[in-house]
A = this chain, B = another copy of it.
């Protein structure tokens, strides 16, 4: 909603370039390029806008420069309009377009600079066209267009960064924090399920919500990468510096996803164990395992909440320390899975075998 209003304001500001006579006299028809810049680069977060804007700027400068060089070269060799000129232009467009497209497809460039390369190809072609058809100086065209693009860029960035800014870095930081909380809840949910299960209450509706979070977390990698990409473009603001270690956030995200996968597996194991469970009264088993499971479980929950809290307050913890703790949590959960199975099946393994043979274990 705020974003929509911001776009509206930017559009009106840039439209003044052609609506008001004194401004139009300065920029002329090139006002079009300013409008285009605002519409195309204005994205939801400040980082995305800045990234696209800088890409557009760089693409225009490099593409325009290369276009000018080829145009001047062709002019010297043949003169504008001659067949020779057309031949050179055609060949250079082909070679240049193919090479630039090839670079555009390389994963690392595609991630951060795809838009810039696209603008580069476009500008190169438009400059060549302008030179062929308008009898103006090459540099003049290039400079006029660049000026209006800069105007559009400044309008977009000002509105995006200074008027209720929406930072990707804040968004990513908070989503990472809440992940720790949610994972802790999910583990608690598993423990509660296991205990409830003992008392044969089967209403686990409250717990399933947390598993939905785990499932959605599994598919969050590409979203995280996008946010980091934007966050990297964002200038210093609040608590995040220029060289803030976003890469470590990605590593934490990977470990959290691992943890979520194991929690989901734990849940599956619990569900699969339910049916055979009913065959036997097993309150003694639970009594035996309860203290161990509870100890491990609450230990993990505590670790996760502690990690989330220290990230929130931005205490300095060495990255390796962080990942060690998370890996330890993972190992503990796995041992919990294993242990639940031991005690559950210890007494009923013979029964289970026949069930598995009949293939009706869920």
A8 at the A/B interface (Cβ < 8 Å)?
yes
1/0 contact trace for A117-135 toward B, CB 8 Å?
0100110011011001100
Query: Quick check: B133 and A94 within 8 Å, CB to CB?
Result: no
Interface string of A16-53 (1 = CB under 8 A from B): 10111000100001011001100110001000000000
Contact of A20 among B86, B218, B334, B338 (CB under 8 A): B86
Tell me the complex Cα distance, A223–B269, Å.
29
Interface membership of A12, Cβ < 8 A: yes
In the complex, whether A307 has a CB less than 8 A from a CB of chain B is no
Give chain A interface residues in 60-99, CB to chain B under 8 Å: 86, 89-90, 93-95, 97-99
Contact B222 A132 (CB under 8 A): no
User: What residues on B are CB-neighbors of A191 within 8 Å?
Assistant: none
- Name the residue on B nearest A345 (C-beta): B342
Among the listed B99, B223, B269, B341, which residue makes an inter-chain contact with A4, where contact means beta carbons less than 8 Å apart? B99
Question: Per-position contact with B for A219-241: 1 when CB-CB < 8 Å, else 0?
Answer: 10111000000000000000000
**How many copies altogether?**
2
A192-232 toward B: CB 8 Å interface, digit per residue (1/0)?
00000000000000000000000000110111000000000
A319 contacts partner chain B, Cβ-Cβ < 8 Å: no
CB A302 to nearest CB in B, in angstroms, measures 14
- Hey, which chain B residues are within 8 Å of A86, CB to CB? 19-20
Known: A4-B97, A341-B345. 15 other contacts (CB 8 A): A4-B98, A7-B98, A8-B93, A12-B93, A12-B97, A16-B90, A32-B126, A32-B129, A35-B122, A35-B125, A35-B126, A36-B122, A40-B122, A268-B330, A334-B362
